[in-house]
Structure 1
Amino acid sequence: MQKLGLLISFLAFSAAAFAQTDTTTQDLGEVLIQENRIQIPFSKQSRNISLVSKLQLETTPARSLAEVLSFVPGVDIRQRGVTGVQSDVSIRGGSFEQTLMLLNGIKLSDPQTGHHMMNIPVPLVNIDRVEVLKGPASRVFGQNAYAGAINVITELSDKSYARVQGYAGDFGMKGINFAGSLPIGNYKQNLAISYDDSNGHWYNSDYQVSNIFYEGGLNMNEKNELKGMVAYTDRSFGANGFYSSSFPDQWESVQTTLASLSHTLTQNNFYLNTRAYFRRNTDEYVLRRNEPSFYQNFHTTDVFALEANGKFDTKLGTTGFGLETRKEAIESTNLGNRARVLTGIFLEQLVNLGSKADLRAGVYSNYYSEYGWKHFPGAEFGFQATTDLRLYSGYGISYRIPTYNDLYYVGPTNIGNDQLQPEQAQNFEIGVKWSKSGLFAELVYFSRSTDNLIEWTRPDADTPWQPQNFSEVKFNGIEASLNYRVSPNGQVVQVKELNLSYNYINADLINQPGIETRYALTALNNQAIGGVLVGIGQKLEWNTKMRYVERMNQDPYFLLDMRVDYNRTGKIGVFTEASNITNEDYVEAGTVQMPGRWFRAGFMLNFE
């Protein structure tokens, strides 16, 4: 609690400092949230959403998207090693299987396991922003968006540029990143390439990660646009303690390929986007790195999907509609050869109720070849009490089917359960938002009542983990956040950005006598996050980030990270970063001991 007090005192001092600065605001309120159908400005949303801006992506002391997301309120990132080489993400106390990752609206879920959810084939340097939608998102994105969804957004530029970044640091860490844009007439295109590797921060934790991302778009005329995307990521890593402490020589190699092609028609009050995409993930897992024959698994999953999403405006408001079909298949030495088909239908309506209130309601109906039809209704109500104050509430049903690992895995420490039923939850939230002169504050209460929660359990340490359905589990929580942003104003010392948030989550899952649970009772309990970005002169930026994390039935820990940039937006810039400055002893996932104090430094070259 002493370290939590330090966090609060530090941010109170920062708040006093920014109160004396010029408030030339940097407004994100009109950023359109990139849902696949009805798109609403951030300031008009009637639900709890966090935006990670380009500025935050560039100045946060982080080498990966996973590390950046660890500073988002209500998001729990559990890394097994540095730079997010293998990490799990959860929202509002959900499991890593209950959060949906998307890239420009394309679902990245893997039918094998949620452990592959963060294998995002885009270098950090090429990401424009990230939208974190907390709470049920099944009505918006489909069945895997159980506790929330994270949409990674890239943007095509109409200007030519090239950016190169390189860095090196402790543990033999080094990396190089390139991002470039070369528009030709009406055709825009981006290319990004990155490579990172390290000797690892402890035994058998080395890694190599490569990414390549290409995106192109053609404006055919005022009404029609074509877009295509091809991306690939390759990551191999020593996995000491990742899935079991009994085998320190675990090793894994994962490759993910993503390709998509889409067409957008915009005509008067009508919008339609049609899209086809393909995702392949290959996973090689070895229990003893230098003795593959002892225990080795090969998995290949393929996802083929077709989607059509649109909207149209009438006197009754805005109507959103969508249709998707998706085939998931796996070839595995452990899980067998299997396939399943999904079909989904979206329908929603946004209605203005007078000049201050609005209602958005809809339903997603889903047919799975294994489970039949399921329906997920939901609604949000918003009331604009004043120009600066918005009240909102929402209700929704979320749903997740078991992964193939949940159902069929057989190994020395984990055994699947082919009798599992899908898990389903009812969700409710109520909140208030206030925004004025660069300040944005939000307070929200949320509740999730889960039926048939899928949780891995075991009677004792000598028995393998196996999933089962718990009949009912309730999660309740509150989130309070304060954000401040301004544009540069020429002052010698200026607070450019200030963030402060607190989350509390309570779960009433009661362990059965003699049964140990693996994930549900290690969810976030208390989380406090703070950060301040200070500009010094015209070229120097100093970003300080703090986190206090306490998970259920685990020891809390406090982390302090910093980054200093010089001439970040100029032709030649340099930076230095330090993580875990207080040298905290902590574990985020499994039995992986996270590193103590560590440093890295690098450069940026910008050509336009």
Structure 2
Amino acid sequence: MLLAASDRPYGANLFYGPYDSWERTKGWFASIQQQLGQRTAASFGYRRHSDIFVLFADQPQIYENNHITTSYEAALRRADTLTPNITLSYGLEADGDSIHSNSLGQHARNQGAGYANLNLRALGRFSLSLGARDELLSSNGNVFSPSIAAAYTLTHTTRLRASAGHGFRLPTYVDLYYADPTTIGNPNLKPESSWSYEAGLDWTPNNGRLTLTATGFRLQQKNTIDYSKLALATPALTFAEPYQAVNIQNLNITGAETTLRLRLTTTQQLQFSYTAAHAASPPANLISEYAYNYAAQNAIFAWNGTLPGSIGHQINAHTQVNIVQRTQHTAYPLWDVALARNTGHVRPYLRLLNLSNTGYHEIPQVPLQGRTIIAGTEFNWTTSRH
């Protein structure tokens, strides 16, 4: 069983737009999972979430949104080992959600799904996974999503792999019904769907200290959900114009990524990753909030490990420098550091984010936080069973 609760009041100044906003979210969650023998498991979870949002903190009468959302999810899953190298996993799932909001109205929807996955491992040098999922939607019919993944061990140090699959996403209630001076939903939005393809190789020399992976990918999306607006002749009017939820008919992204990992010691590792992606340019004068505002290049250099010394081995450390170049923008760096104790009942942690104090935007006109310090502690209790 799992029980969780949260209560988070915070200033949302400039977070959703150029406004001195305020917000408070509260929620609780409960779930239970039960094994039914060695190969079957049943689970159920329920979540309730409330949100109070004020666009202008000192003038709530201008715009205030109060909403309560509830959701549930139930699942029955089973895995059968047909042979030592073949496993069949299958199950049923059901979930639903509802919203009661003074601005979005009252809405509810449910969906159910059945799925199966056949995993064939270590058939000589070859392995294969075949999957299928059929989703029944209360308002949009059904969606069938197949998937396939395969790998081939070329040599004892080189492995080839490839996969393909179908996915889809329903628009959220915010996408459909929300409206404020900065954002307008669209009740006529269609679910977005996609086909994804990727192929790559993994290379690990004999000593295992070095690992190199390289992957090429292609994402073909249909009815992509985005928020956009037109750039008007007067910049002030463009700034005041709200974003509107729309479907983009076809958005195809092609790219490649590579990761190099070097194990320095048993407790320390270096990692370098680079990703490049490309899609067609948006229509002229269109300002896109998400779909065309992706990271065209992204490089990460990271180190993970424990600190030296007898006390240092009780502290996990992580640092990384991330350099991002979004479409139609210059590159910017982000430097993060994290420290956390890894033993004992009391485990304090410290996170230093954006130490370079870089000013940047992931969404147009919405600046993200500068240098940030987060500190806290975990309380860990374990009991031994005999």
What TM-score do the two structures reach when normalised by structure 2?
A: 0.86
Write the letter of the residue equivalent to 1:584. Answer: T
SS at match of 2:61: helix
1:452, distance to aligned residue in structure 2 (A): 1.2
Partner of 2:176: 407
Q: Distance in 2 between matches of 1:354 and 1:506?
A: 36
1:408, distance to aligned residue in structure 2 (A): 1.3
1:581, distance to aligned residue in structure 2 (A): 3.8
Which residues of 2 match residues 161-560 of structure 1 at below 5 A?
228-245=1-18, 247=19, 249-267=20-38, 271-315=39-83, 317-352=86-121, 354-435=123-204, 436-459=207-230, 460=232, 461=238, 462-485=240-263, 496-508=268-280, 510-533=281-304, 535-540=307-312, 543-560=318-335
Write the letter of the residue equivalent to 1:327. Answer: G
Cα distance per residue 1:469-522 (max 9 Å; x no partner): 11111011111112234665xxxxxx71211111111122x3233432221121
Q: Distance in 2 between matches of 1:235 and 1:603?
A: 17
Write the letter of the residue equivalent to 2:160. Answer: L
Partner of 2:235: none
1:307, distance to aligned residue in structure 2 (A): 0.7
1:579, distance to aligned residue in structure 2 (A): 4.1
**Structure with the larger RCO, 1 or 2 (CA within 8 Å, 6+ apart):** 1
- Whether the 8 Å contact between 1:441 and 1:481 is mirrored in structure 2 is yes
- Whether the 8 Å contact between 2:229 and 2:287 is mirrored in structure 1 is yes
1:373, distance to aligned residue in structure 2 (A): 1.0
Which residues of 2 match residues 5-154 of structure 1 at below 5 A?
none
Q: Distance in 2 between matches of 1:306 and 1:607?
A: 29
1:466, distance to aligned residue in structure 2 (A): 1.1
Partner of 1:50: none
Q: Distance in 2 between matches of 1:507 and 1:298?
A: 38
- Whether the 8 Å contact between 2:290 and 2:363 is mirrored in structure 1 is no
Cα distance per residue 1:211-235 (max 9 Å; x no partner): xxxxxxxxxxxxxxxxx11111221
1:390, distance to aligned residue in structure 2 (A): 2.0
SS at match of 1:292: coil
SS at match of 2:241: coil
Unmatched 5+ residue regions in structure 1? 1-227, 489-494
Q: CA RMSD in A?
A: 2.8
Q: Distance in 1 between matches of 2:285 and 2:211?
A: 47
Write the letter of the residue equivalent to 1:230. Answer: L
* Structure (1 or 2) with the greater helix fraction: 1
- Whether the 8 Å contact between 2:262 and 2:269 is mirrored in structure 1 is yes
Cα distance per residue 1:353-380 (max 9 Å; x no partner): 7311111111110111110011001100
* Structure (1 or 2) with the greater strand fraction: 2
1:591, distance to aligned residue in structure 2 (A): 3.8
Q: Distance in 2 between matches of 1:575 and 1:346?
A: 40
Q: Distance in 1 between matches of 2:245 and 2:349?
A: 45
Quickly say closer, same or farther: Cα 1:546–1:361, change in 2 above 3 A. Answer: same
- Whether the 8 Å contact between 1:380 and 1:394 is mirrored in structure 2 is yes
Partner of 1:584: 358
- Whether the 8 Å contact between 1:242 and 1:589 is mirrored in structure 2 is no
Number of residues of Structure 1 aligned to a counterpart in Structure 2: 368
Consecutive aligned runs of 4 or more in structure 1 exceeding 6 Å deviation = 570-576, 600-608
Q: Distance in 2 between matches of 1:592 and 1:384?
A: 47
